[in-house]
Chains A and B, each alone.
Chain A
Amino acid sequence: MKRWTLFIPFVVFVLLGLLLWRGLYLNPKHVPSALLDKPFPAFTLPTLKTGESKTEATLQNGKVQLVNVWGTWCISCRVEHPFLVELAQKGVAIIGINYKDENDAALKWLDDLGDPYLFSVDDEEGTLSMDLGVTGAPETFIVDQQGMVRHKHQGPITSANWPELKTIIDQLEQSKGEG
């Protein structure tokens, strides 16, 4: 047997070690959205405040926007809310999906804490949220100028993770400028 063949087990060991070592740093809770780079699912839902009917066509408006899933029953949403208000003041377009919530409670929430949303649709049955693959609130989607889903963020948006989202939004806005 040639001498170098003696090193094969060692090489196999190193490769396996690298594989497992990488596995230690993967986040098993990170579930990529099944809707990435697909059109925002079709919906027809009334808005919270006026009851006016909105459809997915509203999102195909030539602007990059955030679609934020929220509910008054969701504690993390309360944590996230002030930051969304801040973003809205900076001019970020945010659309709300009020997920399985009581209308009265939701309206009171927006009155008390401020309303960062251009409008919120009332997804009382959770059908739109199911079509979006929402597993809980808050979740935020970045939807591009043509109404395509480009990114999904699970959990509250904070000043810590906002730069990451902002980069994606900026890139989408630039690609529109070039194209």
Chain B
Amino acid sequence: MQHSLSLLLFLCCSFMTLHSQAIVNGHEYQFEEESKAEIFRHLANELRCPKCQNQNLADSNAMIADDLRRELYQQVKEGKGSEEIVDFMVNRYGDFVLYRPKVNAMTYVLWYGPAALCVIAAVVFALVMRSRRREEDEAAAENVQTAPEKAEGVSSEEFSVEEQARLNSLLDDDQNDSDPKGS
């Protein structure tokens, strides 16, 4: 099965390159120049069958897809450019036929939304990381400042003299039980 498939693929490829021919949906389309066959293949893949939900012109057996393939073939043979043909289709069937939607006010969200979300996510991540690091730094700085005070038993402004005396006696008691620096 796989062997015959690859053989078929090989045959298709060799036909295409040798005879400027496009084989699309089982039909052979002859072109004088390879460049035209290339445009045809490209557009048959890029344009969506207007009646189908998710098939391109090359893939669909719908009557309309068949008609549009023929129209596409005619126009490519006449030497019309890719853009001209796409405009022809869009003027009739709307943006629906484009698998690669045009960039305009309607589709900015579609085109740039994912990138914008990534940027927002990166910014939020950076902000969270920065604030977290700052908190850690501040906490570390506080520890550095307050640790010697505690060790020396220097009174804080918040405590009155009596309170400080009581605190000291409590700390002394504690120190008798166990070593606070170890805990």
A34 to B96, CA, bound (A): 9
User: 23 A-B pairs, CB-CB below 8 angstroms?
Assistant: A28-B53, A31-B50, A31-B93, A31-B94, A31-B96, A33-B94, A34-B90, A34-B92, A34-B94, A35-B92, A126-B67, A130-B67, A130-B92, A131-B92, A133-B50, A133-B92, A133-B93, A135-B50, A135-B51, A135-B64, A135-B93, A136-B51, A136-B63
List A contacts of B95 (CB < 8 A).
Answer: 34
**A29 on the interface (CB 8 Å rule)?**
yes
| With known contacts A133-B50, A136-B51, A34–B63 Cβ distance under 8 A | no
Q: Mark B78-103, 1 if CB is under 8 A from A, else 0.
A: 00000000000011111110000000
Name the residue on B nearest A126 (C-beta). B67
| Chain A, interface residues (CB within 8 Å), range | 10 to 19
**B71 on the interface (CB 8 Å rule)?**
yes
**A32 on the interface (CB 8 Å rule)?**
yes
A76 to B113, CA, bound (A): 41
**B104 on the interface (CB 8 Å rule)?**
no
| With known contacts A130-B67, A135-B50, A1–B91 Cβ distance under 8 A | no
Contact between chains at B93 and A34 (CB < 8 Å): yes
Most buried by B among A1, A35, A135: A135
Contact between chains at A32 and B92 (CB < 8 Å): no
Beta-carbon contacts under 8 Å, B31-54 to A = 50-51, 53
Contact between chains at A130 and B71 (CB < 8 Å): yes
Name the residue on A nearest B93 (C-beta). A133
**B131 on the interface (CB 8 Å rule)?**
yes
Report the count of interface residues on B (CB-CB < 8 A).
17
| With known contacts A31-B50, A130-B71, A136–B64 Cβ distance under 8 A | yes
A1 to B130, CA, bound (A): 12
Nearest chain A CB to B73's CB is how many angstroms away?
14
Nearest chain A CB to B44's CB is how many angstroms away?
16
Nearest chain B CB to A127's CB is how many angstroms away?
9
List A contacts of B131 (CB < 8 A).
Answer: 1
Nearest chain A CB to B141's CB is how many angstroms away?
19
**A132 on the interface (CB 8 Å rule)?**
yes
Beta-carbon contacts under 8 Å, A2-53 to B = 28-29, 31-35
List A contacts of B90 (CB < 8 A).
Answer: 34
A31 to B125, CA, bound (A): 40
Contact between chains at A29 and B96 (CB < 8 Å): no
A136 to B60, CA, bound (A): 14
A100 to B34, CA, bound (A): 32
A132 to B50, CA, bound (A): 12
List B contacts of A28 (CB < 8 A).
Answer: 53
A134 to B71, CA, bound (A): 14
Contact between chains at B94 and A133 (CB < 8 Å): yes
Contact between chains at A32 and B63 (CB < 8 Å): no
List B contacts of A136 (CB < 8 A).
Answer: 51, 62-64
Q: Mark A123-146, 1 if CB is under 8 A from B, else 0.
A: 000100011111110000000000
List A contacts of B67 (CB < 8 A).
Answer: 126, 130
List B contacts of A1 (CB < 8 A).
Answer: 131
A140 to B131, CA, bound (A): 62
A100 to B67, CA, bound (A): 11
